[in-house]
Structure 1
Amino acid sequence: MTMAEQEPELDMTRSQVFGEVAELYDAARPGYADALAGDVLAYAALDGRTAVEIGAGTGKATRSFAALGTPLLCIEPDLRMAEVLRRNTAGFPQVRVRAGRFEDWQPDGRRFGLVYAATSWHWVDPERRWDLVHDALAPGGAVALFWNPHGTLDPRLQAALVEVDRRYGLDRTPHGVSASDYGETPGDWAGVREWPEEECRRDGRFTDLRAVRYRQEQYYDTERYLGLLASVSGYRVLPAERRERILAETAEVLDAHGGGIAMDHLTDLFLARVRPAR
Structure 2
Amino acid sequence: MPTQPREQPVPSPAKPHQARQIAESFGADAQRYDQARPGYPDALVTRIVAGSPGSDVLDVGCGTGIAARQFQAAGCSVLGVEPDARMADFARARGLDVETATFEAWQPSGRTFDAVIAAQSWHWVDPATGPVKAARVLRPGGRLAIFGHVYEPPAEVAEPFAAAYQQAVPDSPFSSQPARRPLDLYREMYAAFADKINETGQFGEPEQWRFDWEHAYTRDQWLDLLPTTGGLTRVHPDQLAQILDAVGTAIDALGGSFTMTYTTLAATAVRAIST
Relative to the length of structure 1, the TM-score reads: 0.85
Q: Is the 2:59–2:81 contact (alpha carbons within 8 Å) kept by the matching residues of 1?
A: yes
**1:130 pairs with 2:127:** no
Q: Cα gap change, 1:221/1:265 in structure 2, threshold over 3 Å: closer, same or farther? A: same
Q: Which residue is 2:48 aligned to?
A: 40
User: Which secondary structure state, in structure 2, belongs to the residue aligned with residue 258 of structure 1?
Assistant: coil
**1:27 pairs with 2:35:** yes
Residues 210-231 of structure 1: CA distance to partner in whole angstroms, max 9, x if unpaired?
1211111112111111111101
Q: Which residue is 1:176 aligned to?
A: 179
Q: Is the 1:5–1:234 contact (alpha carbons within 8 Å) kept by the matching residues of 2?
A: no
Q: Cα gap change, 1:208/1:44 in structure 2, threshold over 3 Å: closer, same or farther? A: farther
> C-alpha displacement at 1:199, in angstroms?
1.8
Q: Cα gap change, 1:192/1:270 in structure 2, threshold over 3 Å: closer, same or farther? A: closer
The gaps in structure 2 that reach 5 residues or longer are 1-5
> C-alpha displacement at 1:192, in angstroms?
5.7
Q: Is the 2:190–2:267 contact (alpha carbons within 8 Å) kept by the matching residues of 1?
A: no
**1:208 pairs with 2:208:** no
> C-alpha displacement at 1:142, in angstroms?
1.1
The worse-fitting range, judged by mean Cα deviation, of 164-173 and 7-16 is 164-173
Instruction: Tell me the percent identity.
Output: 28
The gaps in structure 1 that reach 5 residues or longer are none
> C-alpha displacement at 1:133, in angstroms?
0.9
Q: Cα gap change, 1:21/1:162 in structure 2, threshold over 3 Å: closer, same or farther? A: same
Q: Which residue is 1:198 aligned to?
A: 195
Q: Is the 1:6–1:194 contact (alpha carbons within 8 Å) kept by the matching residues of 2?
A: no
Q: Cα gap change, 1:226/1:172 in structure 2, threshold over 3 Å: closer, same or farther? A: farther
- Matches of 2:191 and 2:107, distance apart in 1: 26
Q: Is the 2:217–2:259 contact (alpha carbons within 8 Å) kept by the matching residues of 1?
A: yes
User: Which secondary structure state, in structure 2, belongs to the residue aligned with residue 208 of structure 1?
Assistant: coil
Which residue of 204, 213, 217 corresponds with 2:214? 217
Q: Is the 2:156–2:250 contact (alpha carbons within 8 Å) kept by the matching residues of 1?
A: no
Q: Is the 2:60–2:116 contact (alpha carbons within 8 Å) kept by the matching residues of 1?
A: yes
Aligned residues: 263
Q: Which residue is 1:83 aligned to?
A: 89
Q: Which residue is 2:60 aligned to?
A: 54
**1:163 pairs with 2:163:** yes
> C-alpha displacement at 1:85, in angstroms?
0.8
Q: Cα gap change, 1:172/1:51 in structure 2, threshold over 3 Å: closer, same or farther? A: farther
Relative to the length of structure 2, the TM-score reads: 0.86
Q: Which residue is 2:3 aligned to?
A: none
The worse-fitting range, judged by mean Cα deviation, of 67-76 and 195-204 is 195-204
